[in-house]
Amino acid sequence: MVWLGVDLGNARVGLALSDPELTLAHPAGNITVRRDYFEAFDDVLNVIEDNRVDRVVIGLPLDMDGTEGRSAKKARRWSTNLVTRLEHERNDPQSGITWTPDVMLIDERLTTVDAHRRLFDAQIDSRHHRAVVDQQSAVTILQMALDRP
């Protein structure tokens, strides 16, 4: 089994993959998007197919009071569209996806703050954070899901 963590951002979509034992998350890169993270669908589908992902964990950016603002609603729409695309791909004989991974949303409040802290702890210069913070946030999102009972 392999799970995929996704951190949706306006400039980059960060990705993380689990180990097959579902104990550790590790960075799996970024997908650069120009205007909107809906542009990342095909690349995310390729990662799902290439790694035979069983579950996709998407960060839900709730407001600090726990309510859903614009970003959370957009992430919810993205996850709903991903489920629809996965179902379509599974039913398309030309597609390489013959299964439908589970898709779940997880509260991602403060994951970017945590990602920056981890990068500072790893002594990575703050000038280099931008290139890796989204995938580090995806690692945090996925690790939270893996650590759930």
Tokens 């899901």 belong to residue:
145
pLDDT tier at 91, thresholds 50, 70, 90:
confident
pLDDT higher than 80, residue 88 = yes
pLDDT of residue 18: 98
Count other Cβ atoms within 10 Å, centred on residue 142: 31
Query: What fold does the segment set 3-147 form as a domain?
Result: Nucleotidyltransferase; domain 5 (3.30.420)
pTM: 0.85
Torsions phi, psi for 111 (to 5 deg): -65, -35
Tokens 């550790």 belong to residue:
24
Average pLDDT over all residues of the chain: 86
pLDDT tier at 77, thresholds 50, 70, 90:
very high
How far apart are alpha carbons 25 and 29 in whole angstroms? 12
Domains of the chain, residue spans? 3-147
